[in-house]
Copies of this chain bind each other. A is one copy, B any other.
Amino acid sequence: MQDEPLTVRRRDLLSLIGTMAGSAAMYHAMTALGFASESRYEGPIRLEGDPKGASVLILGAGLAGMTAALELRKAGYKVQVLEFNGRPGGRNWTLRGGDTFVELGGFKQTCAFDDGLYLNPGPWRIPYHHRALLDYCKRLNVMLEPFIQLNHNAYLHASRAFGGVPQRIRTVKADFQGQISELLAKVAGQGKLDEVVSKEDKEILLLALKSWGALDRDFKYKASLLASEYRGYAKPPGGGLSAAPLPSDPLALSDILRSRLWRYLENFASYNFQTTMFQPVGGMDMIGKAFAREVGDVIRYHAKVTEIWQNDRGVTVTYVDARDPAQPQKATADWCLCTIPLSILSQLPINVGATMKAAIDAVPYAGSVKVGLQFRRRFWEEDDAIYGGISYTDLPIRQIGYPNTGFNKSGRGVLLGAYLFEGANSFEFTAMPPDQRVERTVEFGAAIHPQYKSEFENGIAVAWHRVPFTLGCAGYWSEEARKQHYRNLCEIDGRILLAGEHASALPAWQEGAILSSLDAIGRLHERVIKT
């Protein structure tokens, strides 16, 4: 009996350890018990055992492909990478002045941004819990700076509320939170929570609501210097004889509710958008370039794959030079790790089993449009005191993202004038020629920033459904499709296996691409050293 395993709740055990040995010991126990688990990533992958010269052909030099190239070569594999574009990174991509881009349909855009300004058409932010990506940034010396997701002084805008006047996020947030707290304090005071909250807890709850909701001594949220200390002042505190502040007037709860502006608040608290977020200094493609410094020598650029064929001894991939497609060429290896987006892969001849093929065909790709706009001056900082962060609107542009770099400087700036993700507006913008996308973005944005009209200089618009190397921004899994096809997509099929954000539970995130790749090469390696 004494040797039987003990069943104990983790938190009871922790509490015991805390009491017996102090909180430091408890912290270690907590970590040991997986309480503090932040990520699937537990440090650099260790592929132990000799692959005996096995070769892997990697399709795609995005983050998934380059992660695999780097780690497999380090583990002793022969690796080769075929990449469609003339640059590394795939969707890890930054547009700067002088860059050109031809989209499906033939429209060619040349970026006219000033030196030092840029747009990240694809990923643009990195959460603190994307441990694998952050570790590669560290190992590859990519400098990071904060990405501001929540800027209290940016705007929330509803065309048909508040006379169309954009509201500061701080006012909507403080007024909503304050009035919710007042309501709850009121019913608590009336004894209407007595069934669910103990008397002792109720007393503390009232204090907590007062603190959290900026309520006055009568548990009211109203025009006051106290509430202004959260929502902002009509006249802020100053210096000398003109110092006294004046309180501002809260928005009515009913007006906030009917405006629907509350629905943007969740964007600032969700796990993927919590502080501290990052962006690479100088543009997202600093990451792709850093990988390419390591594995660029095994990447063949401009290689457009046209067929993937395997037998039980290896894989043969046919490709053409995208600039001179007349001459098919072949590459062979023992194994193939394919990171080509499913939107493209589903159109290629590939002899995998029926279940993987069905999975490849099952995932539609999300549409997304990003428009970068250059302005003569950083009026959002100079006039509106908005430094970084995002304004949200119900207009088709959806978001205005302010640059998170070069703060408080004079001169030109580029902001993200529109970020549409799925939905009718995204399709509508995708259907327009690029110059019209830019034009419409400026028109809509002027409802929030009237300065657009006089300060706009030039813009560039990337509609992901028209980007030749992905035909969409990311795999758009339904729950149903994931249930039916996800495992089949990830299992090794003969000598072929897939990786990329589409083969992860973090779709559209770079971390998903890397974790997917690490999971895939881990399984591949296990198979290789067993054979």
Report the nearest B residue to A497, measured CB to CB.
Answer: B240
How extensive is the interface on chain A, given as a class? 35 or more
Report A221-279 residues with CB < 8 Å from chain B CB.
Answer: 228-245, 253-254, 257-258, 260, 262-263, 265-266, 269-272, 274-276, 278
Check if B165 sits within 8 Å of A237, measured CB to CB: no
Report A494-531 residues with CB < 8 Å from chain B CB.
Answer: 499, 503-506, 511-520, 523
Check if B388 sits within 8 Å of A276, measured CB to CB: yes
Report the nearest B residue to A491, measured CB to CB.
Answer: B241
Q: With the chains together, A117 CA to B226 CA distance in Å?
A: 37
Given A243-B505, A253-B201, A271-B170, verify A186-B196 contact (CB < 8 Å). yes
- In the assembled complex, how far is the CB of residue A330 from the closest CB belonging to chain B, in whole angstroms? 28
Check if A487 sits within 8 Å of B409, measured CB to CB: no
Q: With the chains together, A512 CA to B245 CA distance in Å?
A: 13
User: Which B residues are in CB contact (< 8 Å) with A516?
Assistant: 239-240, 243
User: Which B residues are in CB contact (< 8 Å) with A407?
Assistant: 144-146, 276, 278
Q: Contacting A184 at CB < 8 Å: which of B15, B173, B183, B212?
A: B183
Given A38-B385, A165-B30, verify A504-B14 contact (CB < 8 Å). no
Given A176-B212, A237-B504, verify A385-B129 contact (CB < 8 Å). yes
Interface centre among A242, A275, A278 (most CB of B within 10 A): A275
Q: With the chains together, A371 CA to B513 CA distance in Å?
A: 42
Is A52 in the interface zone, CB < 8 Å from B? no
Among listed A54-62, A149-157, A340-348, A424-432, interface-contacting one = A149-157
Check if B262 sits within 8 Å of A211, measured CB to CB: yes
Interface bits A9-28 vs B (CB < 8 Å: 1, else 0): 00000110111001110111
Q: With the chains together, A485 CA to B180 CA distance in Å?
A: 39
**A interface with B by C-beta (< 8 Å):** 14-15, 17-19, 22-24, 26-28, 30, 34, 36-40, 128-129, 131, 134, 137-138, 144-146, 148, 150-153, 159, 163-166, 170, 173-174, 176-177, 180-181, 183-184, 186-187, 192-193, 196-198, 201, 204-205, 208-209, 211-212, 214, 228-245, 253-254, 257-258, 260, 262-263, 265-266, 269-272, 274-276, 278, 384-389, 404, 407-410, 446-447, 450, 486-487, 490-491, 499, 503-506, 511-520, 523
Q: List 21 A-B contacts (CB under 8 A).
A: A18-B163, A22-B447, A26-B165, A27-B450, A37-B235, A40-B235, A40-B236, A129-B385, A138-B410, A146-B148, A150-B275, A152-B274, A176-B212, A201-B257, A211-B265, A237-B505, A238-B505, A238-B519, A239-B518, A244-B505, A276-B389
Known: A144-B407, A240-B520. 7 other contacts (CB 8 A): A22-B447, A26-B165, A30-B165, A39-B236, A201-B254, A240-B504, A276-B389
